[in-house]
């Protein structure tokens, strides 16, 4: 396969939650543009109900002729998380330049009945894991004077106000949204601490739903076409932040808004221009 550009050639990326969905698509686009990519997921094999696997993603990336390091890890387990960055460095032959924290625990349930165990799991994956991985890649980034950390967030992070137009999923996204609000704030604080070092830290969320395999199961039937954006659009916004200037940091951005602001042409996951 070939790509119209190799802007990530010579860089090493780590993408979490890469067995399917946004994570797999971002990893593919980075590889298409020349990056060596480490990818993580809880298992290497197929999910019982969802298509796609870490093994499938690795095969797609390898077709671009780049180094690929598949890493199986359970992000709910601190010991598993601690092994991810060393495994990526070993597998890719050097330190991580780009970290994309995409993996998320999305458990939708009434807040009034949301059990403590599930709350802890949600925050473990959506807040603690991204920060742990950021802390693990930071020493090498700071030594080199540059790095890109992109945390995938969600519009559910924004609070409602009366008369509470809640949307199709209602309040069941409340705990998930609270974890993403925490991720936004932690990312902003980390960016402020690192300002001037050359390490950029941003969050990006879809403006509309991205129909990944998991989202299709959870929400597909409840959404109208104008409530959905393409996978390619979301990926375009993510990779823009994997190559952004040092002063674009500490931001919580929205995919389609960023594309419009920057005047980006949305390309395919192979990096090639899409036919109009």
Kind plus residue range of the DSSP H or E element containing 99: strand 98-101
**By three-state DSSP, how is residue 135 classified?**
helix
CA distance 220 to 209: 9
Query: Catalytic site residue 195?
Result: no
180: left (phi over 0), alpha (psi -120 to 50) or beta: alpha
Rounded Cα gap, residues 265 and 257, in angstroms:
13
Beta-sheet strand order (sheet of 12-15): 68-72, 36-41, 12-15, 98-101, 147-152, 199-205, 252-254
Cβ-contact 223, 233 below 8 angstroms: no
Cα distances (Å, whole numbers) of residue 228 to 55, 175, 204, 232, 263: 28, 22, 16, 12, 20
How far from chain centre, in Å, is Cα 172?
Answer: 22
C-alpha to C-alpha distance for 75 and 194, rounded to whole angstroms: 25
Cis peptide before 70 (omega within 30 of 0): no
**Which residue among 176, 203, 209, 235 is the active-site one?**
176
Tell me which residues are annotated as active site. Answer: 176
């Amino acid at each position: 396969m070939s790509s119209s550009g190799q802007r990530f050639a010579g860089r090493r990326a780590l993408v979490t939650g890469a067995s399917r969905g946004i994570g797999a698509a971002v990893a593919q686009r980075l590889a298409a543009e020349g990056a060596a990519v480490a990818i993580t997921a809880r298992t290497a094999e197929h999910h019982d109900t969802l298509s796609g696997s870490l093994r499938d993603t690795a095969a797609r990336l390898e077709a671009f002729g780049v180094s690929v390091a598949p890493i199986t890890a359970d992000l709910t387990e601190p010991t598993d998380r601690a092994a991810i960055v060393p495994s990526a460095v070993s597998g890719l032959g050097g330190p991580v330049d780009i970290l994309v924290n995409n993996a998320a625990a999305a458990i939708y349930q009434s807040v009034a009945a949301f059990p403590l165990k599930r709350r802890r799991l949600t925050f473990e994956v959506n807040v603690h894991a991204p920060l742990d991985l950021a802390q693990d890649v930071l020493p090498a980034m700071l030594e080199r004077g540059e790095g890109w950390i992109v945390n995938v967030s969600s519009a559910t992070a924004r609070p409602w106000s009366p008369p509470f137009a809640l949307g199709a999923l209602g309040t069941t996204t409340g705990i998930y949204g609270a974890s993403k609000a925490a991720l936004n704030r932690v990312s902003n604080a980390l960016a402020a601490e690192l300002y001037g070092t050359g390490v950029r830290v941003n969050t990006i969320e879809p403006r509309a739903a991205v129909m990944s395999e998991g989202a299709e199961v959870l929400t597909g039937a409840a959404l109208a076409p104008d409530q959905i954006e393409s996978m390619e659009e979301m990926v375009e916004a993510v990779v823009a932040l994997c190559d952004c200037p040092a002063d674009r940091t500490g931001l919580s951005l929205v995919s389609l808004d960023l594309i419009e602001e920057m005047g980006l042409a949305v390309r395919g996951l192979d990096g090639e221009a899409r036919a109009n």
